[in-house]
Chains A and B, each alone.
Chain A
Amino acid sequence: DAEITQSPRHKITETGRQVTLACHQTWNHNNMFWYRQDLGHGLRLIHYSYGVQDTNKGEVSDGYSVSRSNTEDLPLTLESAASSQTSVYFCASSEGQLAKNIQYFGAGTRLSVL
């Protein structure tokens, strides 16, 4: 069965370190998204991609970057981790050209920055 997987599921890191969270989907979806989820906020969009070599900034992109070298993967990199980036991160994908189609979410990565 097609799926979307995130790794690691849990990560503890120190302030200032570079961290990369992996997202891999086997649906062959064009669109991939990264969100963060914090208490008192809905899911907030960090970055998204509508295809290979395409990346776009979302609502809360500062301190994060993504790259899309193939259809299946959209790794999220925290350039220099900050305590404010302690959060739960969700990756999602959807088919088609636009974000109107339903999104399929991964299980999430819980990141703690100490």
Chain B
Amino acid sequence: ILNVEQSPQSLHVQEGDSTNFTCSFPSSNFYALHWYRWETAKSPEALFVMTLNGDEKKKGRISATLNTKEGYSYLYIKGSQPEDSATYLCASLTGANNLFFGTGTRLTVIP
């Protein structure tokens, strides 16, 4: 069992604000780090898969960075919009080939 932690648990921001949240994972036996976006009443959708230390990925206003040596990843949202409201999940993959998910950061963007 892998301890994947996300912070904060929940976050309220005003429309137009930029925000970021953290995923922490054990750095030993690291293989990959996944980010998913999960809207209420829908199923999780993949945002990024990151494998290399120093990786940076971008998709529109959302970007992510990865530090495998210290075991963390940041997800950034620039200029938050109400449609960004969702729970953002990260999951760490170890050499055992199982994904271990964090409990998510629930983002609410206030119009």
Contacts and interface: CB of A to CB of B under 8 A. Distances in A.
Interface of A: 33, 35, 40-45, 48, 58-59, 90, 98-108
A100 B93 contact: yes
Nearest to A44: B101
Contact of A42 (B32, B89, B97): B89
Contacts of B49: 100-102
A98 B97 contact: yes
Interface stretch (B11-19, B38-46, B58-66, B72-80): B38-46
Contact of A59 (B91, B93, B100): B100
B46 A103 contact: yes
Contacts of A98: 31, 97
B104 A42 contact: yes
Interface residues of B, number: 23
B53 to A, nearest CB: 15
Interface in B1-46: 1, 4, 31-32, 34, 42-46
Interface centre among A44, A45, A99, A101 (most CB of B within 10 A): A99
A98 B34 CA distance: 13
Given A42-B102, A42-B103, A108-B43, A102 B97 contact: no
Nearest 4 A/B pairs, CB to CB: A42-B101, A102-B46, A105-B43, A100-B32
A105 B36 CA distance: 10
Nearest to B32: A100
A72 B93 CA distance: 24
A15 to B, nearest CB: 27
A90 B43 CA distance: 8
B81 interface: no
Given A42-B89, A100-B51, A100-B93, A107 B31 contact: no
Nearest to A37: B101
A101 B97 CA distance: 11
A48 B98 CA distance: 9
7 contacts: A41-B103, A42-B91, A44-B101, A45-B99, A98-B97, A100-B93, A103-B99
